[in-house]
Amino acid sequence: MPITADCHLHSSHSGDSNTPMEEMVLRGIELGLDTMCFTEHHDIDLPVSPEEPENIFCLNTDAYLYDLATLKEKYEGKIRLLFGVELGLQPQILRPVSVYAKSYEFDFIIGSSHVCHGRDPYYPDFYEGRSEEAAYREYFESVLENVKKYSCYDVYGHLDYVVRYGPNRDRDYSYEKYRDILDEILRTLIAKEKGLEVNTGGLDKGLKDLHPCTDILKRYRELGGEIVTVGSDAHAPGNVAEHFDRAAKVLQECGFRYYTVFEKRIAEFRRL
């Protein structure tokens, strides 16, 4: 396996997983990974359904860090475990999110857009009353707003996340259709020395391509982008490092020769 570091993982410390962290670690060791970076969710001001607790995605960081430190000691010499977080970015919470990012000595921070102008693309009502293209464009506009405002992240996660949940998912979706705004996002990331995450998690949700799609990765490389991390977005052991062979092949085809792992917020480049 050319990629031996999974840099997007969730456990029971995230509101959408019930998996004990140790089970994820054991699966990583079984697969032959040498590095796992947990990136538990921290989403302030996230709209949730009435059935969910109000702050379900606000991370108890101290409890998470305690468990991680315990497992780092227990499995020392078998696998490197890194302290990451996935921050949900929205324009109106810039200050509290930026302060939080500086409050802990994270190894790695993913910036993600899970909410678009107060609405969650996970729910069908985000797409109602307008075309799928209009909904996707609004989402990308909100991503651009976030990448311009924020600097407290290392890579942007699952850049085209919205296509996981659209009425037709990625059937009619393409980089070319949104090229104007996607290029502006990519240029902004490169100018700010931020990277892109290659996220394999959408493949099991019926998508035909990675997040972001291959043409976005190719364009990022054409524009001079070099920083790419790879993550499964696994919330259960069975998805750890899933589809990593495909991710490696796509990256190589797009012109990348290295992928990236962050420790203490410093990029380490590994040959594909």
pLDDT in tens, 234-243: 999 999 999 9
Give, in order, the Cα–Cα distances in Å from 74 to each of 25, 27, 85, 194: 11, 15, 21, 33
Give 32's pLDDT tier (boundaries 50, 70, 90): very high
pLDDT at 51: 67
Residues 6+ apart with CB under 8 A from 73: none
Q: Which CATH number is associated with domain 5-271?
A: 3.20.20.140
- Sequence ranges of the domains in the chain: 5-271
Alpha helices, H only, 103-229: 132-149, 179-191, 214-222
Q: Which helix (H) or strand (E) holds 39?
A: strand 35-42
Mean per-residue pLDDT for 32-39? 98
